[in-house]
Amino acid sequence: MEEEQVLELLKTLRHEWLNRLQLVRAYGAIGDEAAIDVLSAKYREQATREGLLSTMNLPKTALLLMRAEWSGLAIDYDVIRKPEGIIDERLAEITEAAIQMIAIGEGEVSLTFHEGVTIEIYRDHLDVSRITHLVTPMEIESQTSSECVIEIQGILKRDTGQE
């Protein structure tokens, strides 16, 4: 990611955190402790997920996901386990194509990090042509007119035959 993109992400983060702080202060001013607790839990959960994402040694993918999430796109990710043998550049390219598929209109991209990475793309009238050249047919778990599930596994190590 270029320096300009990093600065743009930081600008967005600063702006969004100031909006969040304003919201918490507003609930505090009217004495709504329950709303403050809900927001605090939500913000903590997001910060925890971002922390896990940033420690997986997939910097291009992590920055891409954080930028998309903070920009308001319907992005969801869950870190169950750090995947082994995943090439960050390839995963970032696939993820970016998935995000572009939902960037205009209604849709959602969900990533689950486990032994590999599962990418689920949901959108009415899904056009998978943006992504099919980036994945192998074996990596496409399922595909319909409104959903595509991609399963990316790590690269097998040549010397041991294991992931």
Identify the pLDDT of residue 156. Answer: 46
Separation CA 1–CA 8 (nearest Å): 11
Whole-prediction pTM: 0.79
Identify the pLDDT of residue 137. Answer: 86
Q: CATH number of the domain at 3-152, please? A: 3.30.565.30
Instruction: Supply φ then ψ for residue 131, to 5 degrees.
Output: -120, -20
Identify the pLDDT of residue 136. Answer: 87
- Domain residue ranges in the chain: 3-152
Percent of the chain as helix, strand, coil, to the nearest 5: 50, 15, 35
11 confidence band (pLDDT: 50, 70, 90) = confident
Q: Which of 71, 49, 74 is nearest to 62 (CA)?
A: 49
159 confidence band (pLDDT: 50, 70, 90) = very low
157 confidence band (pLDDT: 50, 70, 90) = very low
Backbone torsion region of residue 125, taken as left when φ is above 0, otherwise alpha when ψ lies between -120 and 50, otherwise beta: left
Q: Token digits for 139?
A: 């990596």
Q: For the chain, what is the radius of gyration of the CA atoms?
A: 18
Q: Token digits for 94?
A: 């696939």
Distances (CA, A) of 26 to 34, 42, 47, 64, 94: 13, 17, 22, 31, 40
Decide the pairing of beta strands 75-79 and 108-113: parallel
Q: What percentage of the chain exceeds 90 in pLDDT?
A: 43
Identify the pLDDT of residue 151. Answer: 93
Classify burial at 20, counting beta carbons within 10 Å of its beta carbon; exposed 0-12, middle 13-18, buried 19 or more: middle
Residue 161 sits at the vertex; the CA angle it makes with 158 and 163, to the nearest 5 degrees, is 95
pLDDT in tens, 130-155: 888 899 888 989 888 889 999 998 76
Identify the pLDDT of residue 93. Answer: 94
**Average pLDDT of the residues in 39-62:** 91
